[in-house]
Amino acid sequence: MSREYTGELISEAVALFIIIAFGDSVAAMYSLYDPSPYQHAYWGVCIAWGLAVTIAIYTTGSISGCHANPAVTLALALYRNFSWKKVLPYCMAQTLGAILGAGIVYRLFGPVIDAFNLTHHLTRAGGGAAGVFFTHPAVGITVMHAFGDEIILTALLVFGIFAITEQHNEMAPGANSGALIIGFLVAIIGASMGYLEAWAINPARDLGPRLFCFLTGWGVAAFPSPANYWWVPIAGPLIGGAAGGAAYQILIHPFLPARNRERQALRQQDRTI
């Protein structure tokens, strides 16, 4: 393995570590304290998650592109010529980073989690404080409904990322501000749809902390989780990422004026040779 490729995998792990360290920490602040500092300011939770993504991109984007999401990695392989040989290693690195991020959150908030569960007569095995780390459907949301939700939400995410990072999109933000806009995209998805099932939209974001919790006392509350929910935040985002990328490639990409001007210029150049 080359030094450059090793750096790419490390950077993907670091990206998820950053996202989970900040994101699950704000989930802890939202869930464990009474009164919660975010009880009437949920937008702050969404902004924190979005800024975590932004910081991850600014930190690692120049090394690996900061996919920071297996659904994004898959979509890039399908539509943006990302190497298929790197897909599984990237996903594994992302999941490892999420596990380590969950470990930091546990180190910070472990005593608060225990106090919360004691106060509310909950246990880890019964799912007490699990929402700090991984996602669940809201009241009234079935497993299959949540599966469809995650497809739609992740499709919106990847559609937006493709638009923001499209080289032929003359309305896309500049290189230095794209990371911030992607962070806002994550935040607006959470602010508008996050209560459905905590807007995983990222298999590694849910799977990594879920694995960590399985090994630290949550047991069946993490795997297989109530109603065998564990697979939804994995399969839904992967399908949604592929769908969102396809939607962009079909509905927007062929009609970009800059792309068409470039193709026309290349055709004229070929005729003159």
Say which DSSP state 138 is in. Answer: P
What pLDDT, in 10s, does the model give residues 111-145? 999 999 999 999 999 999 999 999 999 999 999 99
- How many residues would you count in the chain? 273
Angle at 38 between CA 32 and CA 39, to 5 degrees: 80
Report domain extents, the chain: 3-272
| 3-class secondary structure, 67 | coil
Angle at 232 between CA 201 and CA 218, to 5 degrees: 100
Q: How many other C-beta atoms are found inside a 10 Å radius of the C-beta of residue 215?
A: 11
- Would you call the peptide bond into 237 cis, given omega within 30 degrees of 0 as the criterion? no
Which fold would CATH assign to domain 3-272? Glycerol uptake facilitator protein (1.20.1080)
Q: What is the pTM of this model?
A: 0.95
Q: Helix H segments across the chain?
A: 3-32, 42-64, 70-79, 87-119, 143-165, 178-193, 203-215, 232-251, 257-272
What pLDDT, in 10s, does the model give residues 205-260? 999 999 999 999 999 999 999 999 999 999 999 999 999 999 999 999 999 999 98
